[in-house]
Amino acid sequence: MKMTFRWYGSQMDPIPLRYIKQIPNMSGVVTSLMDMPAGALWPEERIQALKQEVNDAGLEMEVIESVNVHEDIKLGLPSRDQYIEAYQETIRRLGRAGVKVICYNFMPVFDWTRSDLFKPRPDGAAVLAYDQAVIDRITDPQAFADQIQQGAGEFEMAGWEPERMAEIKSLFAQYASVSHQDLRNNLAYFLKAIIPVCEQYDVKMAIHPDDPPWDIFGLPRIYTSAEDIRQILAMVDSPYNCLTLCSGSLGSNPNNDIPALVREFGSQGRIPFAHVRNIKFTGPGQFEEAAHFSADGSLDLYEIMKAYYDVGMDFYVRPDHGRMIWDEKGRAGYGLFDRALGASYLNGLWEAIEKDHQ
């Protein structure tokens, strides 16, 4: 297991690399070129410069999250091939830079969605939260996107980039005729084009679950359950067609048994990257994000980490969304303090599990 930490780059992340380096057992950062729009070819010199910056801080850059997939690929438009060609070349460049995993998603229009970015908790912390009833009352997705960005303050929300949100009304119109199977077919087309490149350059593509794992705003979702995963992995039967298994995203549906998913797909070697975090169910279609500590939420992180140990595969892991604690100001869900606590908690679980099996 390699412990990593999500970092948005020195121009967009208030957390310096030297702080991340001080977290015990931290091997590297999961990062990206955040200003690159979906579909753009990543410049080789910028990839190398980012790697050098990370390496100079004594950390590795072996996981990239995300190389965003252009909406034309998801929609299956004729123009998709030009964006796929750019994606293939970006994979080659990242592979030459030593990147081993690319985390990406195939969610239409919106990336992860929450109805509250800073919900107060009784302990004084603030957390990301979701309430389906709030989402159901939204009649203008553009206004909702504007509200989310305003709530984020000075920080740009990953997955809610301005160039994507500027086209939101036209995108909704385009997706009106796209079914779940259409979206699956478009994902399969994409994977069949890029996985041979991944195999050549030793880069695993690890798709992130839909978050939350059900349809929202009438948009189809196709990575929400074990059956969805089986279909995705069967699209291209290659060890380079993989999963990012996010316990918080999939776990927000109580029907998803996270340890069972880890054992089924981890034993196949198809989980090179894991987001491990906790959530607390607060009602049907409602959850809020919790501390990583099992008792603070609804997921058993000991059982999740034990499942990863039991399948015996090498993988990267990172603590995921954290609470905003100790009056820290920063990107919603991505402060330093609680994610550092989360990493330490996961490290402690892993050490105990390892020693228990010696």
Query: Which residues does the annotation mark as catalytic?
Result: 208, 246, 275, 320-321, 334
If we measure between CA atoms, which residue out of 63, 65, 66 comes closest to residue 98? 63
The 10 Å CB-count burial string (b at 16+, else e) for 201-236 is bebbbbbbbbbbbeebbebbbbbbbeebbeebbebb
Q: How far is CA 133 from CA 109, 129, 162, 284, 286, in A?
A: 20, 12, 26, 9, 8
Q: How far is CA 132 from CA 136, 242, 278, 282, in A?
A: 6, 29, 19, 11
Residue 81 main-chain phi, psi, to 5 deg = -60, -35
Q: How far is CA 127 from CA 57, 124, 270, 324, 339, in A?
A: 30, 10, 31, 6, 12
The helix/strand/coil state of 204 is strand
The helix/strand/coil state of 125 is coil
The 10 Å CB-count burial string (b at 16+, else e) for 174-188 is bbeebeeebbbebbe
The 10 Å CB-count burial string (b at 16+, else e) for 293-324 is ebebbebebeebbbbbbebebebbbbbbbbbb
Residue 357 buriedness (CB in 10 A; 0-12 / 13-18 / 19+): exposed
